[in-house]
Amino acid sequence: MCGIVGIVDAGGVSFPLYYALYALQHRGQESAGISTFEGTALYTHKASGLVAEVFNSHILQGLRGNAGIGHVRYPTTGSKVPENVQPFNFRYQGLNLSIAHNGNLVNTAELREEYERRGQIFCTTSDTEIIGNIIADALRTSKGMEDAVRLCMRRLRGSYAAVALLNDTVYAFRDPLGIKPLCIGRLDRGYILASESVAIDALDGTFVRDVRPGELVRIDEHGLSSVQIATANRTAHCIFEYIYFARADSVIDGTLVYDVRRRIGQKLYDADPVVADTACPVPDSGIAYAAGYAERSGIPFVEGLMKNRYMGRTFIMPTQEQRERAVRIKLNIVRGNLKDKQVVLVDDSIVRGTTSRRIVNMIRDAGAKEIHLRVGSPPIVAPCYLGVDMPTRAELIASGRDIEGVRESIGATSLTYIPLGDLVEAIGCGEGNLCTGCLTGCYPVDIHGEKSCHAIVDYVAGTHQSDLSAFRTGKQQT
């Protein structure tokens, strides 16, 4: 669940890339990187750490050029080593290629083995290097980037939204099922491609539209154009983007995430009404859920947990020990709002259960009489292979336990999950257009040993289609 951004801007891109990555920091806390191009040179700076720790004004001034890409990493494939920090750079026959990727391939091992047999040497353990090598290899014989990406997309299986910098041109493409989000924005002197619309907002840009599943978008000094590489008979947007990962103020595939979460909160009350004194969110992701719950129930919205704003997201910390230690630092009790109260505690999801158990214990220790836990996702019963670091089935608290068993383990007075049908209705695009693998155990791509409900994908010999007229007039292309 990394964050990616690509910008072409006549005024320079290093600082805009920095601000965009800052807006996408919630998508990855392990590392950050930027690559830019000017003249004949590719400039890159990347390192482990948060965006504000990796970059400063002096470094950004050295990243020269009007075209560039950036990345914040949340590791799902590849170990936590410096070699895996993106973007990755490739040089061949006068071409400078830099690439960054959000998602997770499920055929990485077989592709790596194939290219190693052909003599290719890999420097990282990341699946992004596989994508870069396929494109770089295809550029040797193809007519250009469009053909190279078409060949690449035919080889990849899994989820991917990618940005690539080929000399002074930025490209972006999205898997044919649209599993990972990617959108387009217009800036005063250029264009931006980003994982979420909040990166466009950070630059005071104008949201144009989402990159279509299977589409290749190109931006350079002359403007923006696109071509459809592949089409599928369905989409499979990641349902966890709406549940947790995306920022609430983002627009994902045409839907404001805050509105989805507010509707989920309303449906949580409808699913199992309870008498209580307060509706208390687990911040920050539970706030919109609790607002909707309070709106529908008439139970006052009261913050009983206060978040340390300088803490990152505990879910995406790499080890369980770090996650548990961070909960107490991240959240503090507002005792006066909880003592002797019947509390509805509203959260986005329960994965391992350890964080929920600790929060319930904190609220009980503060003197709450009852704690009714309401959860904005159905039980998570299966791993995610497509870009969210869901653990094995053995580590998932809802795998092998019924709801009463989960409630007993966590220690809540009562526990209600939103039904899957209600969740899909709140999102508004239909279950057949969402990836629900972690909730159902049925995945939209073929994964060894797992149940598949895969889509049919066709690769089209598309004609290059210019979007310039629509963008210049401010009209959204549909």
Number of H helices, E strands in the chain: 16, 28
Is residue 188 within 8 A of residue 211, CB to CB? The reply is: no
**Which one of 2, 384, 435, 438 is the catalytic residue?**
2
- Sole residue written with tokens 């548990």: 324
Phi, psi for residue 243 in degrees, rounded to 5: -70, -45
- Helix then strand then coil, % of the chain, to nearest 5: 35, 30, 40
2 is catalytic: yes
- CA–centroid distance for 85 within its chain: 17
Question: What number of other Cβ atoms are within 10 A of residue 86's Cβ?
Answer: 32
Can you tell me whether residue 430 is helix, strand or coil?
coil
The one-letter amino acid at 124: T
Phi, psi for residue 48 in degrees, rounded to 5: -70, 145
DSSP state of 228: E
Residue in 400, 371, 382 with CA at minimum distance from that of residue 442: 382
Is residue 443 within 8 A of residue 158, CB to CB? The reply is: no
The one-letter amino acid at 443: Y
Catalytic residues, by residue number, are 2
